[in-house]
Amino acid sequence: MNQPTSLAPAPLPPTQNRLVAMLRRAGLLDWFLLGLISVVALAYMMPDLGSKSSPVPWKAITMAGVALIFFFYGLRLSMEKLRAGLRNWRLHVVVQLITFVVFPVLALLFRPLFEGVKGVQLWQSIFFLCTLPSTVSTSVVMVSIARGNLPAAIFNASISSLLGIVLTPLWTGLLLHTTTDGGHLWGLALSLTWQVILPVVAGVLLNRRWGALAERHKGRLRISDQLVILLIVFTAFCESFAEGIFRSYAPTDVALLAVGMVGLYLAVFGAVWALSQLLGFSRQDRITALFCGSKKSLVHGSVMASLLFPGMAATGLLLLPLMLYHALQIILASMMAQRMGQVAEA
């Protein structure tokens, strides 16, 4: 009589087990990170699928996704938690100073290293990146994943976007001789209101009725947040590849610039961590400062590039450092946030 065949997979050899465990601890086997790599690869192979020429209304879908993210965040916030988060003025000052002062000053310090016409143009692109506000959706999502101070993260990400409408044109106008269109900048403020502020307010107002339900399903909501980020990354890279943003650069040029963007991210991340430790921030506040203070917004950068530099293609050289920084900050931050979240849950 034949013995029944087992359907269980054969155990991995000890060496492979240790390798898998190590990769998981480093965040390299996380589905979200693998998803990021996959959507970038798909965008490279099929750029028209997610570009402006696609019949699918990606912009409307991503806007709705971002609004839902913030509605559910608001749903999990009580008025007491929100008031406590807003009172933490030292945290807010640190995040905004890092975003709008430390970043541009770092770019100015490295200005002498860029020579020639191409060097000056590249530095201008990097400086433009450094003047941008923090991301809204990804900053808050990373803070949520890492188990940081969520009310303070929502406040900082939102106020950063509002301040950026004024401070980004001010920085670039002083050093890059840009022009501004008040009507379009006012449109940015309205877009922020519809996508972020109103959904959060609606969620907070409904917290007493549905807040407990949202808290019970926070794991599923976390997955939905990550899916929206994947969609944003996919459409952004589709547009970039469709318009040939990388065609005029040798692979070595892009690789060196990517290394520089990693260095910029880690330098700011380290500075925020040291300052947070010096000021005696709690673990949750340190996480919020780290992920809100080290991000730069691709969405705001893309829109502001077309408004402040009307003579340039919005997806040209000006956005190359921003595109690289955007991708690298999500990959690095997702690994860090996942690790911090696992430590908090342990």
Q: pLDDT by residue (tens digit) across 235-275?
A: 877 877 887 766 767 788 888 888 999 999 999 999 999 99
More reliable by pLDDT, 105 or 59: 105
- The dihedral built from the CA positions of residue 28, 30, 32 and 37, taken in this order, carries a sign that is positive
- Residue 263 CA to residue 260 CA, distance in Å, equals 5
Residue 187 — pLDDT band, cuts 50, 70, 90? low
Query: Please, what CATH class does the domain formed by 31-41+48-345 belong to?
Result: mainly alpha
Select the highest-mean-pLDDT range: 54-68, 73-87, 261-275, 317-331: 261-275
The C-alpha atoms of residue 324 and residue 339 are separated, in whole angstroms, by 23
b/e map 221-257, b = 16+ CB within 10 Å: bbeebbebbbbbbbbbbbbbbbbebbeeeeeeeeeeb
pLDDT, position 28:
45
The number of beta carbons lying within 10 Å of the beta carbon of residue 346 is 5
The whole-number pLDDT of residue 132 equals: 93
What does the domain layout of the chain look like in residue ranges? 31-41+48-345
* Cα(279)–Cα(271) distance, integer angstroms: 12
60 SS3 class: helix
Name the band, by pLDDT with cuts 50, 70 and 90, for residue 8.
very low
- Of the candidates 239, 225, 257, the residue with the CA atom closest to the CA atom of residue 142: 225
